[in-house]
Amino acid sequence: MADNDNIVTGKNYGIGIPQVTEGYFLKGCGHLEWGMKDRLSRIFNPKSGHTVMLAFDHGYIMGPTSGLERLDLTIVPLIEYADCIMCTRGALRSIVPPACSKPISLRYSAGSTVLTYLNDECLLDIEEAIRLNASILAAMVAVGDPQHEGLTIRNLTKMVDLGTRYGIPSMGVTAVGKELVRDARYLSMASRVCAENGAHVIKTYYCDKDFEQVTNAVPVPIVIAGGKKLAEREALEMAWRAIDQGAAGVDMGRNIFQSDCPVGMIQAVRAVVHDGAKPDQAFEIYETTKNA
Ligand code: R5P
């Protein structure tokens, strides 16, 4: 216990040495407060500036999607290779080991399923996100959906307000309806709308043409969803191109858990995202693990 005896006068004030004021490594996040930055630094590796999020929240709109029938068998073995996991509160509480110590991207919006029409969603309570120690909140934003655009943008702004109150960042997830084209024009519009409304990270799709326009039009980090299952080499090529053109990582699901070697695939994706491995080098990692 501190007492009043023998108090030694301080001498080491470093007079003449300017105090170090560090910058912050994530695009557009330098002015956020400490708790937000701490959470984002758990998701994005401060050395590479990138992240591999493993997404397995599909069940909330799609039910037992192929590869996600038994999360305990297919997903739990992959968690150790992910920088962050994106899932629902139901999957967290029932399946994810709390001792895994991975930051959680919490699926924070919920609503209609593929059986009716998508994007008619509400938000969870912020207390629930705090209880679950979420590192980031994620809600669907349906720009261009005539029925649900306004609702989902209001959801996003509400999520940002609630998260900001407690230092939890928000991720806008751009939902592209069947009738909309996933081109650079649409993706930059949808992603920019999310960022302007306060999202700290944007999850969107990669597009073959002019993806750089999307990453440049958005003032915060972008992570790409994998989308439908591709051949492994093709998915690695997509991840490489996205990173090369300014994405800060992937939030990938089906191209990992529907692979015939998910552990090999997630390690190959990591090599692309964090080590700058070219698609061929990464594919070799996948093949080596698969054939081991
Ligand atoms: C969709 O329901 C979710 O937001 C997924 O997390 C997202 O689509 C990413 O998964 P995938 O790589 O399978 O597209």
For ligand 1, say whether the CB of 269 is within 6 Å of any of its atoms: no
pLDDT band at 7 (very low <50, low <70, confident <90, very high): confident
Closest C-alpha to 156, from 144, 145, 171: 171
DSSP state of 20: P
Q: 174 C-alpha vs ligand 1 centroid, how far in Å?
A: 10
For ligand 1, say whether the CB of 254 is within 6 Å of any of its atoms: yes
Higher pLDDT, 117 or 272: 272
The alpha carbon of residue 37 and the mean position of all alpha carbons in its chain are separated, in whole angstroms, by: 15
Question: Per-residue pLDDT for 106 more than 90?
Answer: yes
Q: Cite the beta strand spans of 8-141 per DSSP E.
A: 51-55, 84-87, 104-107, 109-111, 121-123, 136-141
For ligand 1, say whether the CB of 226 is within 6 Å of any of its atoms: yes
For ligand 1, say whether the CB of 106 is within 6 Å of any of its atoms: no
Question: Per-residue pLDDT for 138 more than 90?
Answer: yes
What is the structure's pLDDT at 8? 81
203 belongs to the catalytic site: yes
What is the structure's pLDDT at 10? 86
pTM greater than 0.85 (yes/no): yes
When mean pLDDT is compared across 31-35, 109-113, 135-139, the lowest value belongs to: 109-113
**Which pair of tokens denotes residue 113?**
């399923």
For ligand 1, say whether the CB of 68 is within 6 Å of any of its atoms: no
- Give the domains, in start order, of the chain with CATH numbers: 34-291 (3.20.20.70)
Percent of the chain whose predicted confidence (pLDDT) is above 90: 89
What is the structure's pLDDT at 112? 87
pLDDT tens digit string along 207-257?
999 999 999 999 999 999 999 999 999 999 999 999 999 999 999 999 999
Q: Which residue has the tokens 């105090």?
A: 19
Closest C-alpha to 213, from 185, 236, 248: 185
pLDDT tens digit string along 150-165?
999 999 999 999 999 9
CA-229 nearest atom, ligand 1? 13
Q: 259 C-alpha vs ligand 1 centroid, how far in Å?
A: 15
Question: Which residue has a Cα nearest atom 9 of ligand 1?
Answer: 225
Mean residue pLDDT across the chain: 95
- Of 251, 252, 265, best ligand 1 pocket probe by most atoms within 8 Å of the beta carbon: 251
pLDDT tens digit string along 40-60?
999 999 999 999 999 999 999
Higher pLDDT, 105 or 146: 105
